[in-house]
Amino acid sequence: MINRLILGDNQFFGVNHFSEERARAQSIRFQNLDAIIEVIDDACAEGVTAFMCTTHDRIGLIADHMRLAPDRYRNFVFYPCMPYAHKYANAVTELGPLGAISHFLPKNGRLSAVLRGGSAVARKDVEGMAKVLIDAEMKMFHGVKTPVIFLQNAVVDLLLGLGFDEAFAIFANHVQEQYGAEPGFITMNLPTLLERLSRVGIENPIVCANMNKLGFRMCGGIDAYERAMTEYPVRAVAMSVFASGAIPAREAISWVCGRRSVEAIVFGASSRSNIRSTRDLVASAWGPLEKR
């Protein structure tokens, strides 16, 4: 089960695919963690209680905030998206390779994780290393709800290019067994991903991809996406539905909610009025925001 409407985190970290000026303004505004918490609280007040986020260090501070008020956030869920590549690059620069590894390993069982990782390197055991890295990324979410865990598009699409489809099964199996979560995959190439996931036995997957009326950042175009979602069962999470502001909100929501396989929408918003407006448009097309 996945929440129909999901708040994304791009706006909190200065990411805007349409306007660099807007991205800079948002980056400045959300340097203060309280400003991010305020938007999340506004979303919760409007019935949007799911948050799709990277594993940026500041997300860990948000999780800390949630842990301090479990009753207040009892319905709140995180959908982590990993890995956050800049975090690893920065840590290697600041701490060196060994320091970075130590920093990201889970606190519990650190030694065994190190040994497991070292053995994996010696045996070229990709599965062992992958599990260590997933566990390291999930460290900040201890004690909060993470019903779906996503693999970021930078890695998903790289794996597609390499033809390393087995890695998707490794990821899926580990998040299911270790965290009791459903695996999710973010991609810029949904048609190819659905075919490859089917090859390794991942059926009816949760896949997040760009979906909008303009075909903005949709590899192969709208028709290719429609064909793929007809051929392969999928629980699609639509992102970039407004094409970074190029499509009027009502028109964008009406179009994406009409896609048969779309079960959820992830969107960015920085004000309560924008959150409420998007919620109302989605509710008018799909009904109340219960899980699907």
Instruction: Note the pLDDT of residue 13.
Output: 84
The whole-chain average pLDDT of the chain stands at 87
**What percent of the chain is modeled with pLDDT above 70?**
80
Confidence of residue 251 (pLDDT cuts 50, 70, 90): very high
- What Å distances lie between residue 200 and 64, 194, 227, 261, CA to CA? 36, 10, 20, 21
Among residues 211, 222, 82, 78, the alpha carbon closest in space to that of 153 is found at 82
Phi, psi of 70 (to 5 degrees): -60, -35
Q: Is the dihedral of CA 258, 188, 61, 109 positive or negative?
A: positive
CA–CA dist 42, 198 (Å, integer): 39
- The tally of domains found in the chain comes to 1
Average pLDDT over residues 3-30: 75
Instruction: Give the H or E element holding residue 273.
Output: helix 272-286
Q: Is 17 helix (H, G, I), strand (E, B) or coil?
A: coil
Confidence of residue 14 (pLDDT cuts 50, 70, 90): low
Each residue's pLDDT tens digit, 138-174: 999 999 999 999 999 999 999 999 999 999 999 999 9
Average pLDDT over residues 246-253: 94
> Is 117 inside a domain boundary?
no
Burial of 80 (0-12, 13-18, 19+ CB in 10 A): buried
Q: Say which range, 8-22, 61-75, 101-115, 116-130, has the weakest mean pLDDT.
A: 101-115
Average pLDDT over residues 127-143: 89
- Segments forming the whole domain that contains residue 264: 5-84+146-286
Cβ atoms within 10 Å of 122's Cβ, excluding its own: 9
Q: Say which range, 55-59, 103-107, 130-134, has the weakest mean pLDDT.
A: 103-107
Contact at 8 Å (CB) between 237 and 263? Answer: yes
Cβ atoms within 10 Å of 164's Cβ, excluding its own: 13
> Is 171 inside a domain boundary?
yes
Q: Is 85 helix (H, G, I), strand (E, B) or coil?
A: helix
Instruction: Note the pLDDT of residue 111.
Output: 43
> Is 125 inside a domain boundary?
no
Flag whether pLDDT at 122 surpasses 50. Answer: no
> Is 55 inside a domain boundary?
yes
Each residue's pLDDT tens digit, 187-206: 999 999 999 999 999 999 99
CA–CA dist 146, 195 (Å, integer): 26
Q: Looking at residue 28, which CATH number applies to its domain? A: 3.20.20.100
> Is 230 inside a domain boundary?
yes
> Is 138 inside a domain boundary?
no
> Is 187 inside a domain boundary?
yes
> Is 192 inside a domain boundary?
yes
Report pTM. 0.86
Among residues 132, 127, 125, 210, the alpha carbon closest in space to that of 166 is found at 127
Residue of 112 and 71 predicted with greater confidence: 71
**Strands 235-239 and 182-187, bridge-based pairing:** unpaired
